[in-house]
Amino acid sequence: MSKTEELTLEEQVERIRRKRQGRADYVRVRLILNTVFLILAVIGLAVYFLDDTHHLFALAIIGIGMLLKIVEFFIRFVL
């Protein structure tokens, strides 16, 4: 008999709920990071194409957004 067979149905359901709750915290963080990334990308592109004097500033904004996207990537696949 394996360990999962020894658990009651209620215990198995509770174990699954705890696992899902831990993942839900990461999902919220990933959602926030993705939202900020998209906002920064739009702002950066708007500044880049609408203002001819601040190209470097616009690229910095886009770069910060990309760093946030990389952090989200590692949260998704490492944690």
**pLDDT value for 9:** 85
Q: Identify the CA nearest to 37 among candidates 1, 76, 73.
A: 73
Whether 22 is in a domain gets the answer no
> What is the number of structural domains in the chain?
1
Higher pLDDT, 14 or 65: 65
Per-residue pLDDT tens digits for 4-58: 467 788 888 888 888 777 666 788 899 999 999 999 999 999 999 999 999 999 9
Whether 11 is in a domain gets the answer no
Whether 8 is in a domain gets the answer no
Where residue 8 falls (left for φ over 0; alpha for ψ -120 to 50; beta otherwise) is: beta
**pLDDT value for 22:** 67
Q: Which residues span the domain enclosing 43?
A: 36-79
